[in-house]
Amino acid sequence: MMKFFSEQKFRKLAPIIGALLIGLTAFLGYKISDLKFDYDFEKFFPADDRDADYFYAHRDKFEYDNNFILVAIENKKGIFDISFMNEVKSLTTKLQTSLPFITGVRSITNQNEVSLFGINNSVERPYVDLQKWKEDSSFITKDSARIYSSKELLNTLVARDGKSVSIFLKHEDGLSVKKSDTLVAELKGILSDFQFDSVHLAGTTVGQRYYIEKMNSELLFFMALSAILVILFLFIAFRSGWGILVPQVVIFASMLWVIGGMGLFNSPMNILLTTLPSIMFVVAMSDVIHLVSRYMDALRDGFSKFDSIKITLREVGFPTFLTSLTTSIGFFSLYFINVQPVKMFGLIIGIGVLLAFFLSILFLPILFYYFPSPKIIDKRKETLWGKFLPQAYDWITSHQKRVWIGSFIFIGLSILGMTYLKSDNLLMDDLKASDPIKADFYYFDQHYGGYRPFELAINVADTNETVWSLDVLKELEEVEIYLEDTLGVELKTSLVQSLKVLSRSSHFGDTNFYKLPSKKRDIKRFRRYLKIAERGALLPLFLDSTESLTRIQGTLPDLGNNIITARTVLFQSYLSKRKFEHIKVRVTGSAYLLDKNIRYLSNSLIYGLLLSIGVVSIIMGLVFKSFRMVLISLLPNTIPLIFIAAIMGYLGIEVKTSTSIIFTIAFGIAVDDTIHLLGKFKFELMKGKSVPDALKHSFIVTGKAMVLTTLILCSGFLLLLFSTFMGTFNMGLLLGITLFAALILDLTLLPLLILTFYKESSQAQH
C-alpha cells in the first residue's frame, strides 16, 4: 500500500484519516451507552424448525410453560407449625396484593378442598385452617393427614419430606427485562420482611435477571482486566512508554468500535458475547505486536520513520491481513448455524477481528510517524531472543527423530482422549456449583420433582369426539401413568388429574376414589362444575376452546440432555408400539426444544468447522500456489483440535453450546502463527535463499512475535477463568491450553514438515 505513497502525500492524508478515525471512535464510544443485554433462552431454539413452530402455535392456544416463579420456604422443625403457617399465610396475602404483573398466587394456605354433593352443590374447606389449629391442636394432625393423602399437593405446594412449602406465582406472559427486574426486586423486598429459616427462588424470570446482572458486571470486569493486561504485556514486549501508549490507541479503539457498533445497531449483548472484550483484546494485540515489532526492527536497522513504516506494511501487512481473515472466517462460519445467539456471536466477533486489522493498518502508521521515535534496544543486548531462538531451531533440526516421536505420542494421546469425549447439557449447567441461584434451582430438583418443564400436546383423533369422551380420558390416563411410573415425571397440570381430584372430593375425600370416573354422568357433572363462572379460569390451563386439544404439564429433575433425551425416545417408542386409537400425542415445550437444539448445534458446528478449514485451505492455496504448502499448514493446526477434544475428554468437560464453538474459534486463531512463519518463509525464498536458510531466518525473525502473541492470546483467554459462567470459564481454559499447544507444534513440527516435504524445486512455484 505504502509504495504508491510519497512521504509528502502521506503527510497530507494522515491528519485527515486520523481526525476521521478519532471522530468515529469518540462517536462509537458514546453509543456504548445504548448497549442492551439479552437473556431470552428461546432464541437458542433452532430457527425454521417444525417442532419450534408447533410449540409457538401450541403456546398461543394455552399459555407459556415458563410464566411462573417458585418460592420454597423451609422450616427445619416441620411445616405443620402454627407460627410458621401464619407467616406463610401473611406472605401469601402480601404477594397477592402487592406484587406487580402477577396473575395468580397458589399456596397451601389459600387452597381449599372441594366436596361435591349432587349436581350443583359443593362445600369448600381450607387445607390449612389456622383458626381451628389455634383452638384445637388435634386439627393440625387432621389437616396434615388430608394434605398427605392429596397426591396433587405433594411436591407441588408441599414438599414430601414435610420441611418446606412452595408458593406458586403465575405472572403475565412474555415479561420484558424491565418488568422482570421490577417483579423480582419487589419479590425479594417482600421476602426480606420475613424471618424464615431459608428461602429458595426458581423460574425463568429469576434466572433472566440474574444472568443479565452477571453479564453486565462481567463485561465491565473483563474490560478492566484486559486494560491491565494490555499495559503489562506491552511493557514486557517493548519496555518503553512509547511501546505502551501507541498500541493501546488501536487496541481500545477496536473494542470501542465493536461494542459501540452493537449499541448503534441495537444488537444486544448475549451470554456468549460477554467474552467479546477478552477476544477483541487478544486479536487486536496480536496485530499490534507483529506490526510494532517489525517497525522497531526496521528502526533498529537504521531506516527512517517513513521507510520503516513502508517496510513494516510490505513485509508484515499482508500476513497480518491473512491471519485476521482466517480468524474472522473461523467466527463467520458460526453464522451458518441456525441459532440466533450463536449467529450473532460469530458475526459480531468476525467483524470485530477485521475492524481490529484495519484500525491497526490505518492508525499505527500515523502514530508511528507523528509520535517521537521509541528508545531502540541494540540487537546485541537482546540476549534472550538472540540466543534462545537460534539455539531452539538448531536443536529441533538436529533432533528430528525425537521431535517426530514426540509428535506421534502427542497425537496418539490426543486421539485416546477423544474417546472419552461426551456430549451433555443441563439447564443450569452454565453456572458453577457454588452459585447461590444454582443451589436454589437444585433445591427444587431435590424436593419438588424438579424445575425442568415437561409438556405434551394431545389431540383427539376422531373429530366426532372431545376430550370428555370416556375412551379418550382412559387413554389419557394410561399416558399419565406411564409418565409417572416409567419416565419419572411429576405431574402438575392435566385434565385427568383434575377429574380424579373431583372424584375423590365427591366421596368426602376418600382416597380410594382418587381415580378416573367410570360413569359418563359423573364426567358430565364434573365438566359442568369446572365450567362454573368462578372456576372457568381453570379449564384454559389444560383445554382449548374446541375441547379437542389438551395438554399435560409436569416437571423432571434436570438430569442432563442425554438422560432426558433417552427417556423421550423411550416414550416415543412406547407411543409407536401402543398405537392409541382415540388420541394423538406429541412431545413439545421449551425444554424439549432446548434438548433438540443441543443435538442440532453439535452437528451444525461440524459443518461449520469443515467450512472454515475448507475456506482457509483455499486461501492458503491461492497465496502460496502450492498444494504441499496447504497440507503443511493445515496439519499443525488440525492437531490442536484433536487436542481440545482430548482435554475435554480427560477433564470430563461435555460438548454443549458454550464448548462446541471452541473448535472453530481455535482453528481460526491457531492458524495465525503458521501464516506468519510461512509468509516470512515465502518472502525469504523470493530473495533467492535456500529452503534451510530461508526457514531458519524466518524462524528466528518471526519466532519472537509468535511466542509473544501466543502468550498474549493465552493470557487473554485465561482471563475468562474469572467468569462465573462455566461455559465462559471452559472456553478460556481450553483455548488458552490449545493455543499454547499450537505454538509448540508451529515451532517444532512445522519446521520439520517444511524441511521434509517442501523441496528445493518448489521454489519455482513462487
35-81 tens-digit pLDDT: 887 766 677 776 677 888 888 888 888 877 678 899 999 999 999 99
pLDDT of residue 763 exceeding 60: no
Question: How many C-beta atoms lie closer than 10 Å to residue 415's C-beta?
Answer: 14
Of the two residues 352 and 174, the one the predictor is more confident about is: 352
- On the 0-12 / 13-18 / 19+ scale of CB atoms within 10 A, 423 is middle
Query: Which helix (H) or strand (E) covers residue 224, if one does?
Result: helix 204-238
pLDDT band at 536; cut points 50, 70, 90:
very low
State how far the Cα of 83 lies from the Cα of 552, in Å rounded to an integer: 36
- Single out the residue of 47, 622, 648 nearest to residue 335, CA to CA: 47
pLDDT at residue 388 is higher than 90 = no
In the predicted structure, residue 721 carries a pLDDT above the cut 70: yes
d(CA 209, CA 176): 11
User: Does the model's pTM come out above 0.95?
Assistant: no
Distance CA 406, CA 403 (A): 5
- B/e letters for 236-249, b = 16+ CB within 10 Å, e = fewer, are ebbebebbbebbbb
What is the arithmetic mean of pLDDT over 159-166? 92
Burial letters 458-481, b for 16+ CB under 10 A, else e: bebeeeebbbbbbebbebbbebbe
Element (H, E) at 529: helix 520-530
Residue ranges of the chain assigned to CATH 1.20.1640.10: 21-42+209-419+595-765
Please tell me the distance from the alpha carbon of residue 572 to that of residue 566, in angstroms, as a whole number.
10
* C-alpha cell at position 6: 510519497
Question: What is the rounded CA–CA span in Å between residue 277 and residue 251?
Answer: 10
- State the residue for C-alpha cell 379437542: 548
Neighbour order of strands in the sheet with 490-493 = 490-493, 549-556, 452-460, 583-588
420-478 pLDDT tens trace: 888 777 777 777 777 788 888 888 888 888 888 899 999 999 888 999 999 999 999 99
123 forms bridges with which residues in the sheet? Answer: 115
3-state secondary structure of 589: coil
Cα–Cα distance, 414 to 563 (Å, whole number): 27
| Residue 482 · residue 574 · CB < 8 Å | yes
Position 226 pLDDT exceeds 80: no
Which stretch of DSSP H or E encloses residue 554? strand 549-556
Domain covering 68-208: architecture:
2-Layer Sandwich (3.30)
Is 21-42+209-419+595-765 in CATH node 1.20.1640.10? Answer: yes
CA distances from 747 to 394, 670, 703, 763 (A): 12, 12, 8, 22
Euclidean distance between CA atoms 272 and 345, whole angstroms: 6
Question: Which residues are within 8 A (CB) of 381 and not within 5 positions of it... i.e. 6 or more apart?
Answer: none
Mean residue pLDDT of the chain comes to 84
Distance (Å, whole) CA 155 – CA 531: 27
The pLDDT, as a whole number, for residue 39 is 66
Looking at the predicted structure, is the pLDDT value of residue 130 above 60? yes
Decide if pLDDT at 392 tops 70.
yes
Strand partners, 386: none
Task: Please state the rounded mean pLDDT for residues 357-361.
Answer: 91
Q: Which residues, 6 or more positions from 258, have their beta carbon under 8 angstroms from its beta carbon?
A: 276, 280, 348, 349, 351, 352, 355
DSSP 593-613: HHHHHHHHHHHHHHHHHHHHH
* pLDDT score of 290 more than 60: yes
In the chain, residues under CATH classification 3.30.310 are 68-208
CA angle 25, 27, 28 (to 5 degrees): 65
How much of the chain is helix, strand and coil, in % rounded to 5?
70, 10, 20
pLDDT higher for 303 or 270? Answer: 303
Residue type for position 501: V
> Quick one: which of 664, 657, 659 has its CA closest to 609?
664
- Work out the pLDDT band at 533, boundaries 50, 70, 90: very low
Most confident of 91-105, 531-545, 652-666: 91-105
Neighbours of 515 (CB within 10 A): 13
Question: Which of 241-255, 392-406, 439-453, 457-471 has the lowest average pLDDT?
Answer: 241-255
